[in-house]
Amino acid sequence: MITSLELLTPDECARLVAHIKELRAHWIPRGNNPQSTSFFTLGAAIYLDEPSEYRAVAERNNPLLREHFAWLYERLTEFLSRQLRAPVELAPGLGHPGFHVWLTPAIFTTPDASVHFDLQYLRAFPEPQPGMDFDRPLSFTLSLRLPRRGGGLNLWEFTYERYRQFYERINTRIQPKDVTVLLPRLRHPYTVGAIAMHSGHLLHQVGEVDQVFPGDERITLQGHGILVRGVWQLYF
Ligand SMILES: O=C(O)CCC(=O)C(=O)O
């Protein structure tokens, strides 16, 4: 189950994109070849940073994110708090929700992005404490700029819980991608200004576009949440 709700106006998104671009010197190159990549994050990302370095990357980048995007975090936490009917805060010590930036050459035109469940809470909270609810995580993507042919999330009606049952049953090494041959691929389209929310335990993939045009960019605010003793803690 994935829900999209409008959070920002197109004007607010355009202003944010301009602001993110002004901070280009702080974009962190991602991918196998940092010299020539067109894929970046603004902010630490637990699924990309080495676990041993993540907290330091977060400590370096969080003040910058707060300085420039405090109003966005306020809107986001207030909004999620209403939706989730519980207090929401930026997780202390972890990277704040940050930005994914795909410039034209990095935009997927084939369905080759990683097929995955969002299990990064296992890295973010390596020593689970009582009261941390790993059964009900949250993932969200707020689209700020999308390629001319749109953007979206590919998904399969297959949960992490079911994946684990299947894995135990067949007792063979498999990857999440292997189960995609069994089920139809669904598509959840994104719209600029809307926040898409799901558990992260639904099998998914960054959606491709059939054609990319010069100047196309895909820029999103990405974040995840874990409920810790009644308070949702957000991180990236
Ligand atoms: O950008 C998106 O559409 C989703 C990103 C995603 O799947 C992730 O960061 O886990």
Q: Is residue 163 domain-resident?
A: yes
pLDDT of residue 78: 98
Q: Is residue 190 domain-resident?
A: yes
Q: Is residue 154 domain-resident?
A: yes
Q: Among 49, 188, 204, 221, which is best to mutate for testing ligand 1, by the most ligand atoms less than 8 A from CB? A: 204
CATH number where 121 lies? 2.60.120
Residues within a 6 A CB radius of ligand 1: 100, 118, 141, 153, 204, 206, 220, 222
Alpha-carbon gap, residue 154 to 152, rounded angstroms: 7
Q: Among 117, 122, 141, which is best to mutate for testing ligand 1, by the most ligand atoms less than 8 A from CB? A: 141
CA 221 / ligand 1 centre spacing (Å): 10
pTM: 0.97
For the chain, the domain total comes to: 1
Average confidence (pLDDT) per 10 residues, the chain, 236 residues: 96 98 98 90 97 97 98 98 98 98 97 97 93 96 98 97 94 94 97 98 98 98 98 98
CA 206 / ligand 1 centre spacing (Å): 5
pLDDT of residue 35: 84
Q: Is residue 232 domain-resident?
A: no
Total length of the chain: 236
Contact between residue 201 and residue 137 where contact means Cβ atoms under 8 Å apart: yes
Q: Is residue 150 domain-resident?
A: yes
CA 182 / ligand 1 centre spacing (Å): 22
3-class DSSP assignment, residue 7? coil
- Nearest 5°: the CA angle 149, 27, 101 is 15
Q: Is residue 233 domain-resident?
A: no
Residue (of 222, 225, 221) closest to 89 by Cα position: 225
CA 45 / ligand 1 centre spacing (Å): 12
pLDDT of residue 180: 97
Give the domain extent around 8: 3-223
pLDDT of residue 125: 94
Q: Is residue 228 domain-resident?
A: no
Q: Is residue 235 domain-resident?
A: no
Residue (of 70, 1, 42) closest to 220 by Cα position: 42
